[in-house]
Amino acid sequence: MNESDQYHHGNLRQALLAAAIGEIETHGPSAVSLRAVAKAAGVSHSAPAHHFGDKAGLLTALAAEGYHKFADALEAKWAQTGDFAELGIAYVQFALDHRTYFGLMYRLELLRENDPDLQAGRTRAYNALQTGADAATSTGEAQITALAGWSLVHGYATLLLAGNLPESLAQDPAATARLLTQKLQP
């Protein structure tokens, strides 16, 4: 790490990312500016541009970080349980615990889709889902099973976060996710 990566309270890059999370939570990802992130982090207005280039670079770095955290959660759940349905529950739990990341990860119009770190994070997350589907499916339809599971839990998580579900389906997200994922098992 070179001296330009240091900030008086730690890593400047991470401080900027943390400030960006706060700005997104307050104003939404479309309204975030590099100047506002710099102000929230207590650094010069040029610091975010130095690290990320522009707003798309900043948001892409956050989305990549989100995908890696997401993949970590899925991989850990798989290592712990070896159960495809439990991956679905981990998916929903990640969405609830990391709303800002989750929302940003799927805002492709705001991101640089060809960013290597973003692609690596996406690939890790997809591979974790695919590993579970491979183990849960013996009929050669693992790719469709992975897509069905992903669609199911992503849809549920999105509806849940948007407040579009009746209380009975939102009250215990893990239990509801478990019931949904059981529909995929033979």
**What's residue 1's pLDDT?**
40
Same domain assignment for residues 124 and 74: yes
- 69: helix, coil or strand? helix
Asked if residue 99 and residue 58 are part of one domain, the reply reads: yes
Q: Which domain holds residue 27?
A: 1-53
Q: Residue 22 corresponds to which amino acid?
A: G
Query: Any idea what the CATH number is for the domain that residue 31 is in?
Result: 1.10.10
47 and 58 co-located in one domain = no
Average pLDDT score over residue span 72-99: 94
Q: Are residues 65 and 99 in the same domain?
A: yes
Question: Do 74 and 146 share a domain, yes or no?
Answer: yes
pLDDT, position 144: 84
For residue 65, give the CATH number of its domain.
1.10.357.10
Strand 10-11 vs strand 6-7: parallel, antiparallel, or unpaired? antiparallel
Say how many C-beta atoms besides its own lie within 10 A of residue 52's C-beta. 21
DSSP 36-78: HHHHHHTS-TTHHHHHHSSHHHHHHHHHHHHHHHHHHHHHHHH
Q: Are residues 83 and 13 in the same domain?
A: no
Provide the pLDDT for residue 45: 87
5 pLDDT above the threshold of 70: no
The residue ranges of DSSP E strands in the chain, in sequence order, are: 6-7, 10-11
Q: How many structural domains are present in the chain? A: 2
With a pLDDT cut of 90, the percent of the chain lying above it is 70
The amino acid sitting at 79 is A
Residue 144 and residue 155 in one domain: yes
Same domain membership, residue 33 and residue 18:
yes
Predicted confidence band of residue 145 (pLDDT cuts 50, 70, 90): confident
Cα(139)–Cα(90) distance, integer angstroms:
25
Query: How confident is the model at residue 186, as a pLDDT?
Result: 58
Residues 98 and 156 occupy one common structural domain: yes
- Report pTM: 0.88
First-residue to last-residue Cα distance in the chain:
51
How far apart CA 35 and CA 31 sit, in angstroms, is 11
Predicted local confidence at residue 137, as pLDDT: 79
Residue 141, CB half-sphere, CA atoms under 13 Å: how many? 9
* pLDDT recorded at residue 134: 85
Same structural domain, 58 and 101: yes
Residue 117: helix, strand or coil by DSSP?
helix
* Pair 44, 123 in one domain: no
